[in-house]
Amino acid sequence: MSNAILTAEHIARVHRIVPDSGPAAGVQQQTNSDYAQWVDHILRDHPAPGQPIQLFAYGSLIWKPEIEHRDERPAVAQGWHRAFCLRTHRFRGTLDRPGLMMALDRGGQCRGVIYELPPEDPATQLDRLFRREFTVKPINSMPRWLKVQTKDGPLQALGFVMNRASPYYAGRLPPEDVARTLARACGHWGTGAEYLLNTVTQLEARGIRDAGLWRLQSLVADEIDRMPAP
């Protein structure tokens, strides 16, 4: 097994400036009405009405939450695992070189963190969060209440899980295939390699070592090392 470590120098080698091409032709976008319905659905099913929303973060929400929160603590979501199973033609990929992003897929368990959101105006908070997490129809990352375990006991937290009925669901891919994609894909948000490095770095800073992601970062580093010099 390789001992390579993905670094900022690797990211710099594969980064390039990619303009945002916008939504692909024929792809339906979530509307204001769609977002309002999702907000209403999640608030209506809130397991603890009147209490602050607990949000489960496992990937980019940890290093780029973009939403105010007032508390963070470790948590484990049972029955779900991190997976690079969401194919993307925008953001961190393009139509000619699609990328992969993480989602929670069924099976196993996932160590992450719980954020407690402020109790004021939850509808506005959720609207902002949902517009960040999903943009197209059918939905890719579905919001739902998850059972998570914390040191203080179990609780229900809001999370985003992969919709396997989505045409962008990539299924279970071999790590080597994921690594080849992440080492080469880039969109207007940046590279897949950077996305992976940010996630691994922030998880490690919280004492979370995901064995699958740790192996994957090494594979991506190897892929980049084998590329010809620009």
pLDDT at 70: 83
10/21: higher pLDDT: 10
Domain ranges of the chain: 8-16+24-225
Residue burial 73-112, b: 16+ Cβ < 10 Å; e: rest? eebbbeebbbbbbbbbbbbbbbeeebbbbbbbbeeeebbb
For 43, other C-beta atoms within 10 Å of its C-beta total 13
Report the pLDDT value the prediction gives residue 186, as an integer from 0 to 100. 97
Domain spanning 8-16+24-225: CATH superfamily: Gamma-glutamyl cyclotransferase-like (3.10.490.10)
Polymer length in residues for the chain: 230
Is the pLDDT at 1 greater than 70, yes or no?
no
Is the pLDDT at 153 greater than 70? The verdict is: yes
